[in-house]
Amino acid sequence: MILDSWSPLVFVISLIIIALIMWAIRHKGQRVRKKTPAFFAANPVPPRHKINYMYWGFQTAMGRVYRVLRELHSGLINDYVYWLILLTIIIWVVMLI
C-alpha cells in the first residue's frame, strides 16, 4: 500500500499544461496599463492596516474553548510538572488494562 494512488509527477505535468493554456487565454487581455493607488473611496489609504486579529470571528465563536486553553497555558512550572505526573499515571493505568 505504498502510496499507490498518488503520482506527483503526473500532477505537476498536468498542472503545467493547464497553466500554459490559461496563460494563453490571459494573454489575450490587455497588459498592465496603470499603476494606481489602492481604492479607498478617495480617502488616503491608512499606512498600516491592522489585520492582526484576523481570526477574531473564529475565536469569538470558539470563545469557551479558548478560555479553557488559555487558562491551561499558565506558564508556571508547577502546573507543567503536575501535567507530567498526570500523564505518567494515565499511561500506567491504561497499560494495566
Binding of residue 42 to other proteins (CB under 8 A)? no
Q: Which of 83, 85, 64 is nearest to 75 (CA)?
A: 83
Binding of residue 44 to other proteins (CB under 8 A)? no
Binding of residue 45 to other proteins (CB under 8 A)? yes
Binding of residue 31 to other proteins (CB under 8 A)? yes
- In order of 16, 28, 48, the CA distances from 36 in angstroms are 31, 22, 18
Q: Could you tell me the smallest distance in angstroms from the CB atom of residue 24 to other proteins?
A: 10
DSSP one-letter code for 5 = T
Residues numbered 51 to 70 that lie near other proteins (CB under 8 A) are 51-52, 54-55, 57-62, 65-66, 69
